[in-house]
Structure 1
Amino acid sequence: MSQSVIVNLVKCEPLLGKITWAFILALLIIVPIGNLLIPAGNVLHVSTYTVTLLGKYLTYALLALAIDLCWGYLGILSLGHGAFFALGGYAMGMYLTREIGDRGTYGSQLPDFMVFLNWEQLPWFWQGSDTVAWMVLMPLVAPALLALVFGWLCFRSRVSGVYLSIITQAVTLALSLAFYRNEMGFGGNNGLTNFKDILGFSLQADNVRVALFVLSGIAVLATYAFLRSILHSRLGKLVIAVRDAEMRTRFVGFKVEHIKLIVFVLSAMIAGLAGALYVPQVGIINPSEFNPINSIEIIIWVALGGRATLYGAVIGAFAVNYAKSVLTVALPDAWLFILGALFIVVTIFLKEGLAGLIKSKKQQTVHGEVA
């Protein structure tokens, strides 16, 4: 991306978007300094736990950007992006599991769960999972392949609206049930865990934790800029045209199915990247990540922040997950009720989310000054 393009993107970015960028950049500067350079006894020290927590929030923000592209701009309410996130996480988890080598419980080159199940060799789909190429490519390729097959079948059949949403949720549930089975070869109920290294560096080291945090932040900013550039392009205008007037777009000669498929696959790849960055920071990936409730929760993040803005997705992901971190400790039994009430309030009173609320308040202020 050339310097002039970047300058134009910054100039065109709304104020709230610039504030979101500044917030993430500030985190990328302050958190590493606070963790690595300021002593633990100092009040300004940032604990490794906080670094990991903020890194997890950044991966959720990346996942929210994927949903905002698919739902906010393309108009497809996907209740299955949790599956793409989990597939990216499992692809990374497979690499990290192979990195353990013979340091596992049973001292075998096979993963512990395979030894426990009396497997004698790696399944064919684990071949190559110990390579850097796997770590880099498979978290993108696996979700992309699922999205490509699923999208091609649905879009060519012109399945849309609530029917498409229900099908995406059904696929996610089916994958959840499949990954719980031991014979699938992904660790069953326990999933993949007990990771030790990544690229030869200990995952328990503070500097590695900070590096993963910084990488997550860079991924959010780079994806944000990439999506904004796409949305300002001809393809972006077509995406919005498909959302607002699909039949008219079809009648003037555009292949609506192709546009939907391209954006849906891109969105799945972003979700997979988020899952790949999430796993080494939290240290586990299991079938619970496929839970359809997780996909619904992602929708709430974007709805709260404000869809079709990009920055709203980031704001919503941080806001809801920070509230979850606090309230699941203070009010563990009430958190799901609070989340449900939040969704109802946003749906009825804040249809454009917090971003829309701030924008409307700003317009009222401007009109008041003019009057």
Structure 2
Amino acid sequence: MTKLKQWTSLGGIGVFAVLLLAVAPLVLTDHWLNNLGKYCCWAIAAVGIGLAWGRGGMLVMGQGVFFALGAYSMAMHLTLESAGDRIPGFMVLYDPLAPLPMFWEPFRSAGFTLLAIVLLPVVVAGILGYALFKRRVKGAYFAILTQALAVALATLISSTIRETGGDTGLSDFKYFFGYVLNDPANKLMVYLIAAALLIVCLLAVRQLYRSRFGELLVATRDAEERVRFLGYDPANVKLVAFVISALMASIGGAMFVPIVGIITPAEIGAAASILMIAGVAFGGRASLFGPALGAMAVGWGQSSLGSTWPEGWTYILGLLFIVVILFLPNGLSSLPARFAARARRSPDQQQPAAVLPAPELEEVKS
């Protein structure tokens, strides 16, 4: 990355931070600011996908698993915080005399909850990635396996109604680490936390792209065997990127819960994971800002068009995905470079060379 690109990317993050943290709260209504916070949560997960897929070549189609780990960890803590010393209401409906499940008890602690949001995805992604990458599982097989895990987890949560709320999910959160969620000032605080976390993730990924690890990751994507011959283990390089991607998905899921106010299996299954992938592909998976902006654009489309025209929105998303793959394989983020390259061409380069007739050609040769 050249010096100009380094400063351009850093300046872009600065402008993005000003827009999210300063301008948006001043010009947007509470409804749209809350929606923007939701888009930021998806963007956090998308930045991680951009690292793993765009730079590492790993099509992670099961990020809903790690999104769920963060989301349900946060939801369980907020549910217990709202219930106080009582058993959560949805559990009482199914079995009034049953005690609180043992795995819920630690989530009464705010510190344990924050630790779980960070460590659970790291441990799960570490074990899963080590098992897959050491066996050199990649390509379509890797994508199918990760997506199958997302489907399996969503099905498991749907079937454990008393422990997780099933298809209804967890909702009706009143407090966020002691702050009343219905207070507009606290809602703004939660939005600012989500937006700030998105900026931090962008800065972290930018630093990774500039580092030696970033170069190794691209080399592993393009020439894995050469990296192995140079003495590096491609499995370890992929594993680090996969774990970081999982951590960002978990953070996005954790902030999604207090902003939206509900988490259900529909938000973590195969469809949700594909929606994240679609946003990354739309924005440009190999760029720094492309995944985040693409995820926010797709989120806006889902909120705006999906609510007014739910059946049509599915077709629009599918058509958009096909068009991007066929005509813009590098996403919308590649458009400025294309326009700049076209502008740099001289008029002589843009016009095809004239074809000389045979007699004139002979004369030129002589």
Aligned counterpart, 2:167: 189
Change (3 A) 1:370 1:134: farther
Please state if 1:164 is matched with 2:142.
yes
- Output the amino acid matched with 2:328: L
Deviation at 1:200, TM superposition (A): 1.3
Deviation at 1:117, TM superposition (A): 2.5
Deviation at 1:30, TM superposition (A): 2.1
Aligned counterpart, 1:4: none
Deviation at 1:332, TM superposition (A): 2.5
Please state if 1:114 is matched with 2:91.
yes
Aligned counterpart, 1:198: 176
* Equivalent-residue separation in structure 2 for 1:323 and 1:168 (angstroms): 26
Aligned counterpart, 2:361: none
Please state if 1:60 is matched with 2:19.
no
Please state if 1:214 is matched with 2:196.
no
Aligned counterpart, 1:256: 234
Please state if 1:77 is matched with 2:59.
yes
* Equivalent-residue separation in structure 2 for 1:308 and 1:184 (angstroms): 42
Change (3 A) 1:207 1:9: farther
Deviation per CA, 1:59-103: give whole Å up to 9, x if none: 11111101101100111001101221121100100110110124x
Aligned counterpart, 1:3: none
* Equivalent-residue separation in structure 1 for 2:87 and 2:285 (angstroms): 44
Deviation per CA, 1:19-59: give whole Å up to 9, x if none: 46413422311233x3xxxxxxxxx5x32211111111111
* Equivalent-residue separation in structure 2 for 1:363 and 1:252 (angstroms): 35
- Output the amino acid matched with 2:160: N
8 Å contact 1:89–1:272 — kept in the other structure? yes
8 Å contact 2:159–2:166 — kept in the other structure? yes
Deviation per CA, 1:246-275: give whole Å up to 9, x if none: 111112211111111111111100100000
Match among 274, 280, 285 for residue 296 of structure 1: 274
TM-score (norm 1): 0.88
Aligned counterpart, 1:345: 323
8 Å contact 1:182–1:189 — kept in the other structure? no
Match among 5, 9, 15 for residue 22 of structure 1: 15
Deviation per CA, 1:202-260: give whole Å up to 9, x if none: 11111111111111111111111111111211111111111111111112211111111
Aligned counterpart, 2:251: 273
Change (3 A) 1:347 1:17: farther
**Structure 1 gaps, min length 5:** 1-7, 35-43, 103-107
- More off after superposition, 301-310 vs 318-327: 318-327
- Output the amino acid matched with 1:83: V
Match among 241, 244, 247 for residue 219 of structure 2: 241
- Output the amino acid matched with 2:61: L
- Output the amino acid matched with 1:75: G
Aligned counterpart, 1:152: 130
* Equivalent-residue separation in structure 2 for 1:266 and 1:92 (angstroms): 19
* Equivalent-residue separation in structure 1 for 2:31 and 2:293 (angstroms): 21
* Equivalent-residue separation in structure 1 for 2:24 and 2:7 (angstroms): 26
Aligned-residue identity in percent: 35
5 Å-filtered alignment, 1:350-369, equals: 350-368=328-346
TM-score (norm 2): 0.90
* Equivalent-residue separation in structure 2 for 1:127 and 1:330 (angstroms): 41
Structure 1 segments of 4+ aligned residues over 6 angstroms from their partners: none
8 Å contact 1:79–1:295 — kept in the other structure? yes
Aligned counterpart, 2:152: 174
8 Å contact 1:212–1:281 — kept in the other structure? yes
Secondary structure in structure 2 of the residue aligned to 1:334: helix
